[in-house]
Chain A
């Protein structure tokens, strides 16, 4: 059970970590200054959540730290979802990816408030406040882009269509999910799907964005350690400094 709990913490921690890294890449590139600061704030919240989950994973594992897990781990040992690895194609892609993850996080963290594991419960309690705000912001932008101009509608529709196939991983159960649910630590991933779909579909409809058909594109998932072509490049950038200068301090 301990191995599965570590795996679960890595999944949540790594997903927030890589998403926060993607957002950090976007820093200074948002269309307006106000938005640049806002999206960077969201990235920092996610980094904090990642740190909490990775600290817990490191404690459970022993002989390691959250920093070591972040900067000295191989690609195949990461457990982040494919969705968070997708590139910052444009503002619409960044917002669509964020909106999908915010809905997922809100539903998940709410359920984790019933977790039998006190650390996971504690982290979720803190995270849910942040996530509520993230969702408020991203769903607001989905509406603005959907109902904005012809071009903004096309761009957000395009982003939603392209990213849709990555969302099926969010609701697929593996052996870790089964163990977490059996030990009353976390809900099955599949149990989050209906609420998520309802939330997303409602917002898309209100925004005059068409809901894509479900696609099952992959037999291998990030949560099982099989990644998109993007993750290697993300890690190369994120890890190169500590690998080149192992003793560097701030």
Chain B
């Protein structure tokens, strides 16, 4: 093992409270799942930030490319009708 081999890169997600969505908080290096979980606990929950941890190998995440931006996202720019804002809400409906 060379000196700068710090293992695999993992992405860490923390759940603040039961029922809430897991949010990405950062990444870490570890050689396997067990070590990644222990390090995540030490790095990202030491100030009582959460009660659940998800860890994913960074290489297993499929992400969009920055260069795809135009084709992927621009076409939705001028399609305001995709937002449900063209309806009149009846007075009786409160929680919407």
Contacts and interface: CB of A to CB of B under 8 A. Distances in A.
Interface of A: 32-35, 37-38, 41, 136-137, 140, 144, 149
B30 A34 contact: yes
Contacts of A149: 1
Given A34-B43, A140-B35, A140-B38, 12 more contacts: A32-B29, A33-B29, A34-B39, A34-B42, A35-B39, A37-B39, A37-B43, A38-B38, A38-B42, A38-B43, A41-B42, A149-B1
A211 B17 CA distance: 45
A37 B38 contact: no
A65 B42 CA distance: 31
Interface in B8-52: 28-30, 34-35, 38-39, 42-43, 46
A34 B29 CA distance: 7
Contacts of B43: 34, 37-38
A35 B43 CA distance: 10
Nearest to A152: B1
A37 B30 CA distance: 13
Contacts of B1: 149
A137 B46 CA distance: 15
Nearest to B36: A34
Nearest to B28: A34
Contacts of A35: 39
B57 to A, nearest CB: 15
11 contacts: A32-B7, A33-B6, A34-B28, A34-B30, A34-B39, A34-B42, A34-B43, A37-B39, A38-B38, A140-B34, A149-B1
A84 to B, nearest CB: 22
A38 B39 CA distance: 7
A111 B58 CA distance: 43
A43 B21 CA distance: 32
A104 to B, nearest CB: 21
Contacts of B35: 140, 144
Nearest to B1: A149
A100 B54 CA distance: 31
Nearest to A151: B1
Nearest to B5: A32
Given A32-B6, A41-B46, A137 B38 contact: yes
Nearest to A133: B41
B14 to A, nearest CB: 16
A148 to B, nearest CB: 9
Nearest to B38: A137
A35 B6 CA distance: 11
Contacts of B29: 32-34
A19 to B, nearest CB: 18
A168 B59 CA distance: 48
